[in-house]
Amino acid sequence: MNNKFRFLPIATFLGFAFLYVPIIVLVVFSFNKSKLVTVWGGFSAHWYGELLQDPQILGAAWISLQIAFISASLALVLGTLAAFVLTRIGRFWFKPLLSGMTAAPLVMPEVITGLSLLLLFVAMEAMFGWPAGRGFTTIVIAHTTFCLAYVAVVVQSRLSDMDESIEEAARDLGAKPVRVFFDITLPTIAPALMSGWLLSFTLSLDDLVIASFVSGPGASTLPMVIFSKVRLGVSPEINALASLMIGVVALGVAIAAWQLLKSPQKSKA
Amino acid sequence: MSAQTQLAADEKPWRRAGEKPFIRINRLTKKFGEFVAVDDVSLDVYQSELFCLLGGSGSGKSTLLRMLAGFETPTSGTIEIDGQDMANIPSHDRPTNMMFQSYALFPHMSVEQNIAYGLKRDGVASSEVSDRVADMLSLVQMSDFGKRKPDQLSGGQRQRVALARSLIKRPKLLLLDEPLGALDKKLREETQFELIKIQESLGITFIVVTHDQEEAMTLATRIGVMNYGEIVQVGEPPEIYEYPTSRFVADFIGSVNMFEGRVKEDDKDYVRIASDEAGTDIHVGHGVSCAPDQKLWFAIRPEKLELRRKRPDGDFNILKGMVEDVAYMGNLSVFRIKLDSGKIVKATQSNRVRRDDEAISWDEEVYLTWDETAGVVLQS
Amino acid sequence: MTEAVVNSKPFQWTAKFLAKFGLSGRGLVIAVPTLWLLVFFLIPFIVVLKISFAEAMIARPPYSKLIEPTDSGFAINFSFLSYQYLVEDGLYLAAYGSSLRIAFFSTLFALLIGYPMAYFIARSSGQWRNILLMLVIMPFWTSFLLRVYAWIGILKGNGYINNLLLSLGIINEPLVMMQTDFAVYVGIVYTYLPFMILPLYANLVKLDGSLLEASSDLGAKPIMTFLTITLPLSLPGILAGCMLVFIPVVGEFVIPALLGGPDTNMIGRVLWDEFFRNRDWPTASAVAIIMLLVLVLPIMLLQKAQDGQNQDKSGI
């Protein structure tokens, strides 16, 4: 018994060390003065300055942020609709198909999704002349499609956990279906919508493979630029970029945690 | 206790022939795939009744209620409320309101907002809304809690808010799904009488779904007992208890001893039943329409049995057995007596004195007897 | 505010406009996501299937037409050339084999590392559990590409590990770790560990503690309790976690591309090279179709595991 009690915390500690040591090393060495990334040459914020003056990275970041914002928002609407249809609307003949199509993008290897969408866009262009060429729009469509699945999963689980009699009560008191959705359903699933949107935003911002397939000249996203740089070896600039992105996420998580810790105390009072 | 019982018998609308029912359920059936949840139910409920649908889980009582509210569409049959056919009327347009088992209070709205919700949907002017909300809050004694959120209320308080919210639109029919199910025993008993008081003061017709027979007995003007999607008996509480028409009802409501037997003598004024299970002839002091040698059952409640040490006179309605167990319940004691046939019979005696040294106890040989009108004969 | 939205003129107009075309709210709500997924998820696979039967050629787009108009109508040119390549050229089969092998072992490693962590988190109390869970989820939110990148600096010839070991005098020559299968395993396990831990945690946290007490009360030692109670009950979680790791790893591209060597031959990378380097679209499509077929069984297993998990939930 004692044995097990020592084994578990040690195993867990080592597991977390495995998850976090690389990130910590990355952040520490982003403040390295030396150009040799792996040899400590003193503290400096020099590479952050370099990063903020690199037009290629800044341009790609701006494109990625726009794509992520639009894709996440579209995916939020479409994913919520899909989740709503799957949990709240009774049987119709292609419901199993819709359910399968909603879940499948989650596990589909990215190379397949990327390839298949590219081939579709090429075929569509040949047939209808749209989308003319590939770039911003096609990346948005591709990202919306796979982010939609994540939103649908998150929202679906919230909707099926939700007590349906609350919606019935609203109908019973005279609210029409659209009203019920806006008055009752939406406020109840708001946290799930928020996390669905954020998840989509980060997934889109992070995607390399699908974007590489469906993008065209002139639309290089941040991961594409990072990938081409990283293939040539480690660069102190990328360390700085990674640390900035990790910093933003850590801040976001800290705020979310603070909100979570705050809210139960409020309701107790 | 309640006003209904003070009414003269002939004022009860369901006893008067030709009285127009307020709610008319006609041959209603609901199937879920192959499963028949509600099976060809016909039922009339009258204005200002407090009607209880009583049954176990899966008996179809909740489905019937949900069809009245408009949450389920009947497979066949019709529902009429106050002369109006409810087919094709969605739940948000029906003159009914429902109090949910889970209460279904909107968690993101305050008590006042919850109660006001229905009126706002009808476009009632906001000054009138706040007046009526205040009235409702005082009716359910929750005036001090209007600004609270549901998660800041106790179970009993939530129940009151749910009731207020479902009453504020003055529905023609209020549907209550296990309204007291989530309350503890003490609170439930107090709330039962409050619910009756509110129902009488507003005159709204209530249909209550419950699995708790005591609750049904206390609340109801009439009870409809449901089993496997069918209504097996409808009647006033004493009628259901004293005159069950089937073994299911006799067994479901209260505790009963049941003896299988065959008709031995059949006369205009009495019936004699031979029962091997009882080990005695059973004499019933009224006529029963039955065939000679027909198989039937005799049901008798434990409190109608008399317990004796000496064999009573006569050659019928006498059971002989051994006391196997005595359970002291406070107000009464329950005896489990094993007959020679092996059948266990339950009999209760009220404990009138505080300490009875002469009390019948374990392993004593005893006799049980009863009045010739104390039991019922059941044919199904 | 919602009142304003629902009652607003544009909202009402839109509703009326749609109603004219026989589209009720309900129909529209169903149609929009279904159409989107049909066009951008299902049809693309049909296109991939179609092109896998075409032949590569130097053109725009770089493949032959399946149906071509001729003088006497239409000619159908079904070509199995791409599939023939896959079978005949040992490279493709070897790539499928090594992808499956790498996916299998990294799934196993992730399970061995992730299970104790999930168990510990599920058994820890209140505040601690939330903090640990957050630590598991956090990597989800940080860039996957950059986390893989971090390992290059750690593993490479003059990276952190070699520098440390050299300076401590433990080794004289730098260890070769980058561009090996070892680096690929490390990268995969590192990246996919949270996918393993979360379903395991979701399963283990539902495990009723009184079952373990009952088992112990009936005389089982902790290890027996684990083997006879905990492990069997957590099987759906194990299956879900393993499939969530296994399926995407089979098609993984970034990790072998960044951490693997020239001989790390994974199918995702082969597809990528076929497409971007050789511009052989039909072969890339055939590679994708075969990969999908290989993944059908794991995907069905995942579906089953998730149904099992959901039933647990509704059973309570």
Q: Write phi, then psi, for A107 (nearest 5 degrees).
A: -105, -5
Q: Write phi, then psi, for A194 (nearest 5 degrees).
A: -60, -50
Task: Name the pairing type of β-strands B318-328 and B365-369.
Answer: antiparallel
Contact residues for A60 (Cβ-Cβ < 8 A; gap 6+):
A220, A221, A222, A224, A225
pLDDT number for residue C21: 59
Q: Write phi, then psi, for A67 (nearest 5 degrees).
A: -60, -45
Contact residues for B56 (Cβ-Cβ < 8 A; gap 6+):
B211, B227, B252
**C94-110 pLDDT per residue, tens:** 999 999 999 999 999 99
- Min CA distance, A185 vs chain B (Å)? 10
| Nearest CA-CA partner of B172 in B65, B119, B96, B99 | B96
| Nearest CA-CA partner of C142 in C199, C190, C196, C197 | C190
Q: Do B100 and A165 touch (CB under 8 A)?
A: yes
Is some CB atom of chain B closer than 8 A to the CB atom of A2? no
**B57-75 pLDDT per residue, tens:** 889 999 999 999 999 999 9
Confidence of residue C55 (pLDDT cuts 50, 70, 90): confident
List residues of chain B with CB under 8 Å from any CB of chain A.
Answer: 69-71, 90-94, 96-98, 100-102, 104-108, 117-118, 121-122, 149, 151-152, 165-166, 169
The whole-angstrom separation of Cα B81 and Cα B68 is 9
Q: Regarding predicted confidence, which is higher, B1 or C178?
A: C178
- Min CA distance, A25 vs chain C (Å)? 8
Using alpha carbons only, give the angle C312, C314, C316 rounded to the nearest 5 degrees: 75
For tokens 């989308």, name the residue.
Answer: A131
What three-state secondary structure class fits B221? coil
Residue B322's beta-bridge partner residues? B338, B365
- CA C302 to chain centroid, in Å, comes to 11
Confidence of residue C229 (pLDDT cuts 50, 70, 90): confident
Picking from B92, B105, B169, the nearest residue to A171 by CB comes out as: B92
Q: For residue C167, give the chain A residue with the closest CA.
A: A39
Helix axes B126-139, B111-121, angle to 10 degrees: 130
**B346-369 pLDDT per residue, tens:** 999 888 888 777 788 888 899 999
- Which residues from B are below 8 Å from A183, CB to CB? 106, 117
Widest distance between CA atoms in chain C:
85
Q: Which of A60-64, B232-236, B288-292 has the lowest mean pLDDT?
A: B288-292
| Nearest CA-CA partner of A209 in B380, B291, C253 | C253
- Min CA distance, A169 vs chain C (Å)? 18
Query: Which two structure tokens, joined as six digits, stand for C220?
Result: 């089982």
pTM of the model: 0.81
- Min CA distance, A73 vs chain B (Å)? 25
- Which residues from B are below 8 Å from A174, CB to CB? 92-93, 118, 121-122, 169
Is some CB atom of chain B closer than 8 A to the CB atom of A186? no
The whole-angstrom separation of Cα B258 and Cα B322 is 18
Q: Which of A21-35, B40-54, B180-194, C4-18 has the lowest mean pLDDT?
A: C4-18
Q: Residue B268: is its pLDDT beyond 90?
A: no
Confidence of residue C59 (pLDDT cuts 50, 70, 90): low
The whole-angstrom separation of Cα C304 and Cα C293 is 18
Q: Do A174 and B107 touch (CB under 8 A)?
A: no
Query: Which two structure tokens, joined as six digits, stand for B111?
Result: 């008590």
Q: For residue A171, give the chain B residue with the closest CA.
A: B92
Confidence of residue C313 (pLDDT cuts 50, 70, 90): very low
DSSP label of B61: H
**C4-26 pLDDT per residue, tens:** 565 666 666 766 666 665 556 77
Picking from B93, B96, B117, the nearest residue to A170 by CB comes out as: B117
- CA A175 to chain centroid, in Å, comes to 35
Contact A80, A153 (CB under 8 A): no
**A182-222 pLDDT per residue, tens:** 999 999 999 899 989 998 998 999 999 999 999 988 789 99
**Taking a contact as any Cβ pair under 8 Å apart, which residues of chain A between 43 and 62 contact chain C?**
none
The whole-angstrom separation of Cα A77 and Cα A148 is 8
* Percentage of the residues of chain B whose pLDDT score is greater than 90: 58
Q: Do C254 and A101 touch (CB under 8 A)?
A: no
Is some CB atom of chain C closer than 8 A to the CB atom of A208? yes
Q: Residue B46: is its pLDDT beyond 90?
A: yes
Using alpha carbons only, give the angle B123, B127, B131 rounded to the nearest 5 degrees: 105
Q: Do C41 and A22 touch (CB under 8 A)?
A: no
The whole-angstrom separation of Cα A57 and Cα C39 is 33
Helices marked H in C21-89: 25-37, 43-52, 81-88
DSSP calls for A242-258: HHHHHHHHHHHHHHHHH
- Which residues from C are below 8 Å from A123, CB to CB? 47
Q: Which chains touch B (3 or more CB pairs under 8 A)?
A: A
Picking from A166, A176, A267, the nearest residue to B106 by CB comes out as: A166
| Nearest CA-CA partner of B368 in B294, B330, B311, B325 | B311
Q: Is B211 exposed, middle or buried (0-12, 13-18, 19+ CB in 10 A)?
A: middle
Residue B361's beta-bridge partner residues? none
| Nearest CA-CA partner of C255 in A111, A25, A64 | A111
- Min CA distance, B34 vs chain A (Å)? 16
Widest distance between CA atoms in chain B:
77
Strands lying side by side in the sheet with B76-81: B35-45, B23-32, B76-81, B84-85
pLDDT number for residue B3: 45
Residues of chain A with pLDDT under 50: 1-2, 4, 264-269
Task: Name the pairing type of β-strands B173-177 and B205-210.
Answer: parallel
pLDDT number for residue C113: 95
Q: Do A168 and B121 touch (CB under 8 A)?
A: no
Query: Which segments within C140-224 are labelled E, that is strand?
Result: none
The whole-angstrom separation of Cα C2 and Cα C4 is 5
Element (H, E) at B295: strand B295-300
Contact A228, A131 (CB under 8 A): no
Domain over C86-315 is classified CATH 1.10.3720.10: yes
Q: Do B118 and A173 touch (CB under 8 A)?
A: yes
DSSP calls for B129-189: HHHHHHHHHHHTT-GGGTT--GGGS-HHHHHHHHHHHHHTT--SEEEEESTTTTS-HHHHH
- CA B142 to chain centroid, in Å, comes to 29
Q: How many CB atoms lie within 10 A of CB B350?
A: 9
Average pLDDT of the residues in C224-233: 87
Q: Residue B161: is its pLDDT beyond 90?
A: yes
Within 13 A of C230's CA, how many CA atoms are on the CB side?
Answer: 24
The whole-angstrom separation of Cα C136 and Cα C197 is 8
Q: How many CB atoms lie within 10 A of CB C145?
A: 23
The whole-angstrom separation of Cα C40 and Cα C55 is 24
Is some CB atom of chain B closer than 8 A to the CB atom of A179? yes
The whole-angstrom separation of Cα A183 and Cα A190 is 12
Contact C98, C266 (CB under 8 A): yes
Average pLDDT across chain B, whole number: 89
Contact residues for C284 (Cβ-Cβ < 8 A; gap 6+):
A115, C271, C274, C275
Is some CB atom of chain B closer than 8 A to the CB atom of A38? no
Q: Residue B19: is its pLDDT beyond 80?
A: yes
Q: How many CB atoms lie within 10 A of CB B85?
A: 11
What three-state secondary structure class fits B355? coil
Using alpha carbons only, give the angle B312, B313, B317 rounded to the nearest 5 degrees: 70
Is some CB atom of chain C closer than 8 A to the CB atom of A115? yes
**Taking a contact as any Cβ pair under 8 Å apart, which residues of chain A between 84 and 143 contact chain B?**
none
pLDDT number for residue A40: 80
- Which residues from A are below 8 Å from B133, CB to CB? none
Q: Do A38 and C160 touch (CB under 8 A)?
A: yes
pLDDT number for residue B220: 93
- Min CA distance, B41 vs chain A (Å)? 23
Q: Residue B248: is its pLDDT beyond 50?
A: yes
The whole-angstrom separation of Cα A20 and Cα C137 is 12
Contact residues for C114 (Cβ-Cβ < 8 A; gap 6+):
A15, C193, C196, C197, C200, C241
Q: Residue B375: is its pLDDT beyond 80?
A: yes
